[in-house]
Amino acid sequence: MTKEKLKELLNKMSLTDKIYQLIQIASNFYTEDGMKLTGPIEELGINEEILWNSGSVINAKGAKSVKEIQDKYLSKNKHKIPLLFMADVINGYKTIFPIPIAQGCSFDEKAVYDIAKASAKEATTSGCHVTFSPMVDLCRDSRWGRVMESAGGEDPYLGSIMAKATVEGYQGNNIKDKNSIASCVKHFAAYGAGVAGREYNSVDMSRRELFQNYLPPYKAAIDAKASMMMTSFNIIDGIPATANTWLMKDLLRNKWKFDGVLISDYSAIKEIFVHGNAKDEKEAAKKALNATCDIDMMTNLYTNNLYSLVKEGSIKESQVDDAVMRILTLKNDLGLFENPYKDASEIEEQLNHLSKENLELSKEASGKTFVLLKNNNILPLDKNKKIALIGPHVNNKNIVGNWSIFADKNSVKSLKEAFLENYNEEYLKIFEGCNMLASFEYDPIFTSIGQSPLIIDNEELVNELLIKEACEGAMDADVIVLAIGEHQRQTGEACSRTNLEIPYYQQKLLIALKALNKPIVTLLYNGRPLAIKDVLDSSDAVLEVWYPGTNGNSAVVDTLFGKINPSGKLNMSFPYNAGQCPIYYNHYQTGRPHIKDERYVSRYIDAPTNPLLPFGFGLSYSNFIYNSIKLDNNILTKNNKLNVTVSITNDSKYNGYEVVQLYIQDVYGSIVRPVKELKGFKKVFFNANETKEVSFILNTKMLEFYDNNCKKIIENGLFKVYIGTNSRDVLETEFEVIYLNNKN
User: Could you list the residues that contact ligand NOJ (CB under 6 A)?
Assistant: 88, 132, 186, 265-266, 493
Could you say which DSSP state residue 112 is in? H
- Please identify, using beta-carbon distances, which residue of 441 and 493 lies nearer to ligand NOJ: 493
Among 599, 433, 426, 438, residue whose Cα is nearest residue 504:
438
- Please identify, using beta-carbon distances, which residue of 49 and 493 lies nearer to ligand NOJ: 493
Q: In the bound complex, what is the minimum distance in angstroms from residue 406's beta carbon to ligand NOJ?
A: 12
Do the beta carbons of residue 265 and residue 297 sit within 8 Å?
Answer: yes
Q: In the bound complex, what is the minimum distance in angstroms from residue 483's beta carbon to ligand NOJ?
A: 29
Phi, psi of 211 (to 5 degrees): -65, -40
Do the beta carbons of residue 98 and residue 345 sit within 8 Å?
Answer: no
Q: Facing residues of 723 across strands? A: 662, 731
| C-alpha span between 284 and 385 (Å, rounded) | 65
Among 500, 570, 490, 561, residue whose Cα is nearest residue 535:
500
- Please identify, using beta-carbon distances, which residue of 54 and 622 lies nearer to ligand NOJ: 54
Q: Which helix (H) or strand (E) holds 229?
A: strand 228-231
Among 158, 188, 192, 329, residue whose Cα is nearest residue 262:
188
Instruction: State the amino acid at position 324 in one-letter form.
Output: V
- Please identify, using beta-carbon distances, which residue of 265 and 343 lies nearer to ligand NOJ: 265
**Cis upstream peptide for 594 (omega within 30°):** no
- Please identify, using beta-carbon distances, which residue of 443 and 493 lies nearer to ligand NOJ: 493
Q: In the bound complex, what is the minimum distance in angstroms from residue 497's beta carbon to ligand NOJ?
A: 18
| C-alpha span between 680 and 694 (Å, rounded) | 12
Q: Is 265 a catalytic residue?
A: yes
- Please identify, using beta-carbon distances, which residue of 101 and 523 lies nearer to ligand NOJ: 101
| C-alpha span between 712 and 702 (Å, rounded) | 11
| C-alpha span between 510 and 508 (Å, rounded) | 5
- Please identify, using beta-carbon distances, which residue of 132 and 211 lies nearer to ligand NOJ: 132
Q: Which helix (H) or strand (E) holds 556?
A: helix 552-560
Radius of gyration from C-alpha coordinates of the chain: 27
- Residue of 265, 296, 558, 666 marked catalytic: 265
Q: In the bound complex, what is the minimum distance in angstroms from residue 442's beta carbon to ligand NOJ?
A: 23
CA torsion, points 184, 200, 274, 259, in degrees to nearest 10? -20
Q: In the bound complex, what is the minimum distance in angstroms from residue 58's beta carbon to ligand NOJ?
A: 6
Distance of CA 420 to the CA centre of its chain: 31
Q: Which residue is nearest to ligand NOJ (CB)?
A: 132
Q: In the bound complex, what is the minimum distance in angstroms from residue 726's beta carbon to ligand NOJ?
A: 30
Q: Which residues are catalytic?
A: 265
